[in-house]
Amino acid sequence: MLDTAARTAYDENHIAFRDTVRKLFERELIPHLDRHEAEGIVDRNFWRACGDAGLLCPTVPEELGGLGLDFGFNAVIDEELAYAGSSAGITLQSDIVCDYIVNYGSPEQKAKWLPKMISGEVITAIAMTEPGTGSDLQGIKTTARRDGNHYLINGSKTYITNGQNADLIILVAKTDPTLGAKGMSLILVESDRDGFARGRNLDKIGQHSADTSELFFNDVRVPITNCLGEEGKGFAYLMSQLPQERLSIAVSAQAGAQRAFDEAVKFTKDRKAFGKTIFDFQNTRFQLADLKTKLQVGWAHLDYCIKRHLAGELTPAEGAAAKLWHTELQWEICDMALQLHGGAGYMNEYPVARLWRDARVTRIFGGTSEIMKEIVSREI
């Protein structure tokens, strides 16, 4: 269990909410972790259970059918999910997709989709990456061409979280390929549209329970009213939402790092070699002391970033720095935690193996560490 006694980003309401999250996960998530991993997807029963408990999209304003809570409640969920060792895509829905619809959706779009997203009836995805385009979003090839009062969409996306489950996709497409970034728009595409197809559930190194897919759009027709916000403003919308997306990743990374550390402590205090526990060796204690120190710094920095974000002050460079630092820390701690397990760490029956596998991609998605350095360097 995460030790939150020294946290400074949360008040008594967040603390009470964390207890709700833990109880729900203990009942509906943790007993099914191995099955989720084996099946490569988190079943809809878990989504509906999260919806019933108020764990989906908690920041949606009350007038739109939500709880009207702040991002700190999202962060609590992110921490507990990562500490549990799950890669379920509920954080994508609550931390990323939700705000696009709240901030840029029409009244009709909000009324149609937000209540179902809150309940878990509708699962969402956001489709940015393409087979030939990753961090450079301006290089996307998918197009949404006007055809009367409809868009005609053609293209493909890949590495899409929630791709197999998704009922609704926010598609990043070019509505005017001649205008570069100013020709990009966000289009809502329902998964039951003719011409839409899902590819395979991709076989990944880690995060096996996260359904990650290829998506194909072949003359998919959607009404012009499915444009999210203004046409041509898609790139600007994406950039404005990135600080929260990257903070969300940082939150999960820190909690995942803490779980790996806790597993290493537990294992080394139990496992014996040469007549004493692994923990009794000075090298082990020093390694763990170094990691504990970095975790202490990490939690303090994370609370700083959460409070900055709640105040509306977290800058894009600060969000990038948070993602960079916490995901790199996660990898360092997960790798050392596995090392301290010895051969046992390479066995899938030990939680540290899953934590190690799942940690590797966090330095890539949401913008690679190298891209984060580029963003931070622009502010120097």
d(CA 242, CA 247): 8
pLDDT band at 132 (very low <50, low <70, confident <90, very high): confident
pLDDT of residue 86: 97
Domain made up of 12-122: CATH architecture: Orthogonal Bundle (1.10)
Residue with tokens 């996960």: 25
User: Is there a catalytic annotation at residue 80?
Assistant: no
pLDDT digits (tens, 9 = 90+) for 336-366: 999 999 999 999 999 999 999 999 999 999 9
d(CA 180, CA 310): 33
- The DSSP symbol for 84 reads H
Superfamily of structural domain 125-232: Butyryl-CoA Dehydrogenase, subunit A, domain 2 (2.40.110.10)
pLDDT band at 139 (very low <50, low <70, confident <90, very high): confident
Domain 235-377 CATH (choose: 1.10.760.10, 3.40.30.10, 1.10.357.10, 1.20.140.10): 1.20.140.10
Q: Strand, helix or coil at 119?
A: helix
Catalytic residue among 28, 214, 231, 245: 245
**Torsion 103-109-115-120 (CA) sign:** negative
Mean pLDDT within 84-90: 97
pLDDT of residue 134: 63
Cα-trace Rg, the chain: 21
Q: What is the mean pLDDT of the chain?
A: 96
pLDDT band at 184 (very low <50, low <70, confident <90, very high): very high
Residue with tokens 């403003």: 233
pLDDT of residue 138 exceeding 90, the answer is: no
pLDDT digits (tens, 9 = 90+) for 244-286: 999 999 999 999 999 999 999 999 999 988 889 999 999 999 9
pLDDT of residue 317 exceeding 90, the answer is: yes
Residue with tokens 């764990």: 55
In the chain, domain spans = 12-122, 125-232, 235-377
The percent of residues above 90 in pLDDT, for the chain, comes to 93
Crossing angle of the two packed helices 282-310 and 234-270, in degrees rounded to 10: 150
pLDDT of residue 280: 95
Letter string b/e over residues 221-251, b meaning 16 or more CB atoms within 10 A of that residue's CB: ebeeebbbbebbbbbebbeebbbbbbbbbbb
Mean pLDDT within 7-25: 97
pLDDT band at 136 (very low <50, low <70, confident <90, very high): low
User: The tokens of 320 are what?
Assistant: 């990038």
pLDDT band at 135 (very low <50, low <70, confident <90, very high): low
35 CB contacts (<8 Å, ≥6 apart)? none
pLDDT of residue 331: 98
pLDDT of residue 90: 97
